[in-house]
A and B are shown apart, each in its own frame.
Chain A
Amino acid sequence: MLNQKTIWAFIFVIPIVLYLVIFSLGPILFSFWVSLNDWNLIAPLGEMKFRGLENYAYIFQQDDRFRQALLNTIRFTILGVGANTILGLAGALLLNSRLRYRGLWRTIFFLPMVTAPLALGMMWGTLLNKNFGLINRILLAIGLPAQPFLSSPDQALYCIILIAVYQYVGYYIVVFTAGLQGIPQEYFDAAAVDGANSIQTFWHITLPLLRPVLLFLVVTNTIGALQVFDIVFATTTGGAETSGGGPAGATMVLVLHMYNNAFKFFRMGRASAMAIVLFAIIFIVTLIQLRLVRERD
């Protein structure tokens, strides 16, 4: 029995659901399928060559750049998210304390967050330039040796992490601040009555009550960090001929390697296999989150 309201509801919803089937759900299935084939994007779908799991075997066994990209991405994610969690919490505690010009401080910390990652990459690329960057000239001016930064295989990934931490710390501060403001004042009052000092209050009241917020931040940002692309592209790709990824692939990351395979070399099968590996990692991280959230409830 379709009454008029039901028909209207379908009119509202069906086009949007269809849209998501075309641009989101269908594509994820298509990605799976392409990862099992050889395909160059241009050939008709019927001419795809089925290869089973060969693409996966190839990227894990023979594609050294892929393994390097995977390791770099994991290192980037762990170090970046870890540093940002600590800095963001510290920043939120600072901004939540009695403070002059709080609004101004907030704005300053949030500026990088709204700036295009590509622009941030260019700004930091200029600052960290080996030959004429401001940072090196400051180092020289105070008598320290200049550093190669982005052009060194040992330092490049840390430079990328620095830029990412710089970019996202404001995001962590906003969410932690919202979390802090959600803690009822009575808890702090009770702790004060019991004679707890500020460090004890932090460990036994603030931190446990922030756990859901912390969990959310770590998971969403892990998912985001696993997909880092713009800042690596902006700081380490040169002219049209280079594939980027820094000196000796020191900053090659999953999405950049996937992008190169897909849109430079037109190896859609391998690129899709990489995409599915990325999806699997993200899926596992999400499952862990759901598990932890359930435990809490």
Chain B
Amino acid sequence: MDSKNVNVLHVLGQVLKYAALILLGIWMLLPFYWMISASLMTSKEIIQMPPPLVPVAPQWHNYVRVTEVVDLGRSYLNSILVTSLTVLGILFTSSLAGFAFAKYQFPGRNVLFSMILATMMIPFFVILIPVFYVVKQFGWTNNYAGLIMPGLVSAYGIFMMRQFILTLPDELLDAARIDGANEFRIYWQIILPLTGPALATLGVFNMISVWNSFLWPLLIAQSPDLYTVPLALNNLRTYGMEAQVLNLQMAGTVASVIPTLIVFIFLQRYFTQGIALTGLKG
């Protein structure tokens, strides 16, 4: 092949590559673009033909009007409360159990660890009815405990923290024991501070999935006071199917997705690390 041919092929390859990327990029961004644009349109603009690409005059008050339909502020507070307590719970139980399985010898250790791994194979939907029943027996339907309690332990989190803590040297523990620290203090003051990166990965990953979860809160939160953000959004969705409320629905959607997008954009590294880890361990 002469160099001219190679050059033509190279250029062609580059063109195809960027064309593919741009097409994919448009596909990825179109829904977000339209969501934002439509959230600022008048209800007339939203069905106008041909469609305007951007609103002539941005209707910022759509964002005010949407809070008159659903109590977004309250839902935000609920979501923040539920998400932060659930994620803190997962971080605590995962690191504590991971620590115990990584650094202690005790009878039944392998059996218990296999049991925990086995629960990873049980999809939540398959046990939805019994878990709902358990929560009902505890009297937690329609309150915060019902939203938070079933999500406090992650078998995957335990597995991941165990793998991470296995890599920490035993000498650290022994040194602390000589200084007279009890085992919980070793966990709390020695191990926990060293697991930062693993905790960040686990935390970001779970933060996003808890914030976005829908079916479980739908079953538990019957009164609007308890609605998390996805439930408020669902309420808005069923509020009206007509074009007249589409701009409000899109305003609500924008408001609902902003927190996870911000978390993702700033903590992207931890999120992709978490995914890549799951993929390479399997």
Contact = CB atoms under 8 A, between A and B. Distances in A.
Interface of A: 4-6, 8-13, 16-17, 19-20, 22-28, 30-31, 34, 41, 90-91, 94, 97, 99, 105-112, 114-120, 122-124, 126-127, 131-132, 134, 137-138, 140-141, 166, 171, 174-175, 177-179, 182, 212-213, 216-217, 219-220, 223, 227, 229-230, 233-234, 237-240, 255, 258-259, 262-263, 268, 271-272, 275-276, 278-279, 282-283, 286
B125 A109 contact: no
Contacts of A112: 28, 31
Nearest to A141: B50
B126 interface: yes
21 contacts: A6-B105, A8-B104, A9-B106, A9-B183, A23-B134, A25-B122, A28-B126, A94-B21, A105-B25, A109-B28, A111-B28, A118-B214, A123-B34, A126-B38, A171-B275, A174-B279, A216-B282, A220-B278, A229-B215, A276-B126, A279-B126
Which 10 residue pairs are nearest across A and B when measured between Cβ atoms?
Answer: A27-B130, A175-B279, A178-B276, A8-B183, A27-B127, A9-B104, A216-B282, A116-B212, A12-B100, A30-B130
A182 B129 contact: no
Given A115-B261, A127-B34, A25 B115 contact: yes
Contacts of B211: 116
A94 B28 CA distance: 15
B84 to A, nearest CB: 17
B31 A127 contact: yes
Interface string B130-165: 111110100000000000011011010010000000
B31 to A, nearest CB: 4
Interface bin, chain B: 35 or more
Given A120-B31, A174-B279, A8 B129 contact: no
By secondary structure, the B interface counts as helix
Contact of A6 (B38, B104, B214): B104
Nearest to B265: A107
A166 B28 contact: yes
A67 B233 CA distance: 31
Nearest to A41: B133
A126 to B, nearest CB: 6
A107 B241 CA distance: 32
B85 interface: no
B76 interface: no
B176 interface: no
Contacts of A272: 129
A28 B28 CA distance: 38
A258 B24 contact: no
Interface string B23-37: 011011111101100
Interface of B: 17, 20-21, 24-25, 27-32, 34-35, 38, 46-47, 49-51, 93, 96-97, 99-101, 104-107, 109, 112, 115-116, 118-119, 121-134, 136, 149-150, 152-153, 155, 158, 182-184, 187, 208, 211-212, 214-215, 219, 229-230, 233-234, 237-238, 241, 243, 246, 249-250, 253, 256-257, 260-261, 263-265, 268, 271-272, 275-276, 278-280, 282
Contacts, number: 269
Contact of B272 (A6, A117, A174, A262): A174
A107 B24 CA distance: 12
A237 B122 CA distance: 27
A239 B234 CA distance: 11
Contacts of B268: 106-107, 110
Contact of B257 (A9, A115, A219, A275): A115
Nearest to A114: B264
A216 B116 CA distance: 20
A216 to B, nearest CB: 4
B34 A134 contact: yes
A180 B28 CA distance: 23
Max chain B Cβ within 10 angstroms of own Cβ: one of A107, A126, A272: A126
Contacts of B50: 137, 141
A114 B152 contact: no
A12 B97 contact: yes
Contacts of A166: 27-28, 31
Contacts of B32: 111, 123
A125 to B, nearest CB: 8
